[in-house]
Amino acid sequence: MCGVISGLIPGIHSNTMAGIMAGLSPVLFPVIGAEGLVAALISMLIGHSFLDLIPSTFFGIPDSGTALSTLPAHALTLEGKGEEAVRLSALGCIYGIIIGVPVAILAYVLLTPIQSYIDWVCGPLLILIMGMVIIQEGSVLWALLIFASSGLLGLFAFRFQYLVWNLNGESAVLMPLLTGLFGLSVLIVSSHTQVPRQRYANLGLETKSILYASLSGTIAGLLVGWLPGLSTASATAVINARIKYDTNRRTYLVAAGAAACANVVVGLAAFYGIERTRNGVMVMISSLDPPSFPVLLLIVIIASGAAYLITLSMSSCAKWFSGLDGKMVNTLVAGFVILLCGVICGPFGLFILVCATGIGLIPGFLNLSRVPCMGVVTLPVILYSLGLWGF
């Protein structure tokens, strides 16, 4: 239920809910114990990964892991296919768990002994991926400039992240960055006509395409879940190197959902295998007495099944938005995002939001994709991996 709440409220990260649960630990400990609290935290993280699909699809508000996938999901909503977008993403999530569990076990067994050789791969790998992304754009020069601009903004924001009101856990500075680049900038230029009638007929993808997308997303989730310094936002850039979010929207949504959940599962394997924490939830778990790795995987499977069913049942809310004034909806959502950013991140967060929104508008004017904007995350990670910069 905590994952449902944090997932449905835009701007509230799973780390935020983990902090609340940490504050309630004196009350929870006598009731469920340390292992029970760990189970609750993992279930919350899984629930958030599923339910976060709702606001990113219908309102175009990205979370730290849904930046690029927000664009095709919101575009399908404007075509009257919002429920289909949610179902595709949720299907990718559940396939990410199904494929990700055995992949995580293999990673735990095979990668742990050679971790020292793996660490140095992160930087060169991201350089290769982003180089491929930039070369495939219509204008290589403009794509490179957008990548560099967003990357410099990311470096600046991370360097002075202590100025952000840290009410959203470790993701505090990511909120204005990704919301400006992939949320507010899209709302400003999106359609102001009435929201079309929302109808659901089918998923619009063959089983073969779903399996291919799920496997691709799981591989991307493995990369970002195990390699140091990467996040789900990096996974979406990896996926886009093979599956374009603007031309293969449905396939991309499945792959992005699979990457998000596979990242969580592989992150657990990294926690047990090489003692690395991938997010605030894992940091809190490391201070407790967690159960064994197989038990946590069983908890992940059970929580995923429940979250999948809840997400499907809530996807039918798409029909509530039929006929709404698009301009009014966009204005209300934009105002809410700005207000939320101000409350959670403070004046510095609002400044970052304005800068990120300005950069996020450029690709639309030049008819380019927004993938180069992922430089906001990938450039700092590349420099960090090469030992040229520290967070």
pLDDT digits (tens, 9 = 90+) for 214-233: 998 888 888 777 776 566 66
- Give Cβ neighbours of residue 83 (< 8 Å, ≥ 6 apart): 198, 199, 200, 315, 316, 318, 319
Mean pLDDT of the chain: 81
- Say which range, 90-99, 138-147, 366-375, has the weakest mean pLDDT: 366-375
Please compute the mean of the pLDDT values over residues 128-156 and round it to a whole number.
87
Sorting pLDDT into bands at 50, 70 and 90, what band is 369? confident
Kindly tell me if the per-residue pLDDT of 304 is higher than 90: yes
pLDDT at 234 over 80: no
Predicted pLDDT of residue 62: 61
pLDDT score for 90: 92
pLDDT(124) > 90: no
Residue 357 pLDDT level (bands cut at 50, 70, 90): very high
Residue 179's pLDDT band (cuts 50, 70, 90): confident
Asked whether residue 137 carries a pLDDT value surpassing 80, the answer given is no
**Picking from 296-300, 324-328, 351-355, which range would have the lowest pLDDT averaged per residue?**
324-328
Q: Taking residues 242-251, report their average pLDDT.
A: 76
Predicted confidence at residue 365, as pLDDT, reads 85
More confident residue, 182 or 97: 97
Confidence (pLDDT) at 276: 74
What's the whole-number mean pLDDT along residues 16-22? 73
Task: Name which residue leads in pLDDT, 377 or 352.
Answer: 352
The C-alpha angle 173, 91, 130, rounded to 5 degrees, equals 45
Q: What is the mean pLDDT of residues 59-67?
A: 61
Of 36, 40, 35, 51, nearest to 18 (Cα)?
Answer: 40
**pLDDT for the residue 382:** 83
Least confident range of 65-79, 125-139, 278-292: 65-79
105-114, 193-202, 264-273: least confident range: 193-202
Q: Which residue has the higher pLDDT, 27 or 102?
A: 102
Of 41-55, 110-124, 168-182, 255-269, the least confident:
168-182
Q: Kindly tell me if the per-residue pLDDT of 324 is higher than 70.
A: no
